[in-house]
């Protein structure tokens, strides 16, 4: 159509022709000018929809696309989406236009709604609602567009909203930076997903991918197991790190233990402390070393025949039993390794109990205590000691200044002054 055309009346008249070729030509031209002449085309909207509904019309998808754009301008987005899905491949997702972006957003929102409802129905063992194949195709093409554009985080976020774990797995494995995308997916799952059932499935998928990775992120893996309340798996991971010969693995285990304590779930840490793999080994019973290698029953028989065998005993000297030279050294090396592992296990259990964190916090506050007690002393001297308000204010100020530092110097230096508040309250 000429760029200087002022009306689409000529093209609309071709829609009334009986030849499908003329109708197709008119629809093709109208598709190019629908944004300009949509008010005129809206008068023939019923006829265009008739072409789409006619199974024998060879250009049904083109008619659906034109009708969809008209409904879009009429702000009837549900009908516009329905007809855009009917347009099939003619609905170009790569087109950067307001119409395409609006319909895509509408399609994704509707798809998310349907998939969320179906997920809840699946959990309840009820019949699922059918989803149009064309609708599924549009969303899949949108996922492919994200893959082609390397928009992996956007694709993972959309897949999580659509309850498509297969797409989540595909994006993670095909991304260039798997650990980064795993971290993003885990953070998104923990902060935005409200469904506990779906969040559990996502975390199980992440655990599967973490376990199949060449380099495992034990911190993130333990966090997933912590959210799933699986102390047995966390204990197994900590035991693996403790048994490792790498020194860094023990440090990783300590960091995991600190993170678990900071999550403020004492019950979970108590279960870890009671787990079989993290229990301290029982002490081995002491082995008594006897001076003679003869059996105890031989002493009685030897005493009875002492006189008869005395000369023979003096002549014959028993040969000493051979002692292997390498056994004590091997046993010493093994014992040293065991002691080191037991020591590391004790440290880890101390961290899981929360005592290490408490002690470190207390030491930090004590060492960094920079409060000036002279200020409190000057305030105490400056104000009237009979005023209960200022007295109470000084006590509260001291408690805030020395909170957690275990410093009670001011109180010990003012033992006579401190009880005055209670005495004043009794007088009043």
Query: Strand, coil or helix: what is 254?
Result: helix
**pTM above threshold 0.75:** no
**Rounded CA separation 248/234 (Å):** 18
| Cβ atoms < 10 Å from Cβ of 379 | 14
Closest CA to 373 of 404, 391, 394: 394
Tell me the helices (H) and strands (E) count for the chain, helix number first: 23, 0
Place of tokens 């004492």: 266
Give the contacts of 297 (CB within 8 A, at least 6 positions apart). none
Q: What is the per-residue pLDDT for 391?
A: 84
What are the residue ranges spanned by the domains of the chain?
1-91, 95-212, 229-280+337-368, 373-427
Question: Which residues fall within 8 angstroms of residue 376, CB to CB, at 6 or more apart?
Answer: 394, 397, 398, 401, 410
Give the residues of the chain that fall short of pLDDT 50: 2, 289-317, 323-333, 424-428
Q: How far apart are CA 5 and CA 9, in angstroms?
A: 10
pLDDT in the model for residue 406:
86
Quick one: residue 316, left, alpha or beta (phi over 0 = left, psi -120 to 50 = alpha)?
beta
pLDDT at 340: 85
59 contacts: CB under 8 Å, gap ≥ 6:
20, 23, 24, 27, 51
Decide: 311 and 209 in contact? Cβ < 8 Å: no
**What pLDDT was estimated at residue 206?**
95
232-254 per-position pLDDT tens digit = 999 999 999 999 888 889 999 99
Q: What 3-state class would DSSP assign to 279? A: coil
């Amino acid at each position: 159509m000429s760029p200087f055309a002022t009306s689409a009346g000529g093209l609309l008249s071709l829609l009334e022709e009986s030849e499908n070729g003329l109708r197709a030509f008119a629809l093709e031209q109208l598709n190019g000018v629908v944004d300009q002449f949509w008010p005129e085309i809206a008068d023939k909207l019923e006829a265009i929809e008739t072409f789409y509904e006619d199974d024998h019309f060879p250009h049904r998808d083109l008619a659906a696309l034109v009708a969809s754009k008209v409904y879009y301008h009429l702000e009837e987005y549900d009908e516009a989406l329905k007809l855009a899905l009917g347009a099939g491949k003619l609905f170009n997702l790569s087109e950067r236009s307001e119409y395409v972006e609006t319909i895509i957003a509408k399609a994704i929102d509707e798809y998310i709604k349907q998939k969320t409802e179906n997920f809840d129905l699946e959990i309840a063992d009820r019949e699922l609602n059918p989803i149009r194949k064309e609708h599924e195709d549009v969303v899949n093409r949108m996922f492919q567009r994200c893959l082609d554009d390397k928009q992996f985080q956007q694709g993972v976020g959309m897949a999580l909203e659509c309850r498509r774990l297969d797409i989540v797995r595909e994006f993670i494995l095909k991304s260039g930076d798997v650990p980064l995308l795993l971290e993003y997916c885990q953070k998104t799952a923990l902060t935005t997903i409200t469904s506990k059932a779906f969040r559990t499935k996502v975390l199980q998928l992440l655990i599967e991918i973490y376990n199949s990775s060449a380099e495992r992120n034990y911190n993130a893996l333990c966090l997933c197991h912590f959210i799933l309340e699986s102390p047995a798996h966390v204990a197994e991971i900590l035991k693996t790190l403790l048994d490792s010969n790498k020194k860094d693995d023990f440090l990783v285990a300590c960091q995991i233990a600190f993170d678990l304590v900071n999550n403020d779930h004492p019950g979970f840490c108590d279960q870890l402390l009671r787990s079989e793999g993290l229990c301290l080994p029982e002490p081995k019973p002491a082995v008594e070393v006897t001076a003679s290698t003869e059996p105890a029953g031989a002493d009685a028989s030897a005493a009875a025949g002492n006189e008869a065998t005395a000369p023979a005993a003096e002549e014959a000297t028993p040969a000493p039993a051979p002692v292997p030279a390498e056994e004590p050294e091997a046993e010493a090396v093994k014992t040293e390794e065991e002691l080191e592992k037991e020591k590391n296990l004790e440290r880890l259990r101390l961290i899981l109990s929360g005592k290490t964190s408490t002690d470190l916090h207390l030491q930090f506050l004590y060492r960094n205590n920079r409060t000036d007690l002279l200020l409190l002393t000057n305030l105490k001297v400056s104000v009237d000691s009979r005023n209960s308000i200022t007295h109470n204010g000084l006590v509260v100020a001291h408690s805030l200044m020395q909170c957690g530092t275990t410093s009670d110097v001011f109180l010990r230096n003012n033992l006579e002054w401190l009880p005055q508040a209670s005495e004043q309250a009794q007088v009043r």
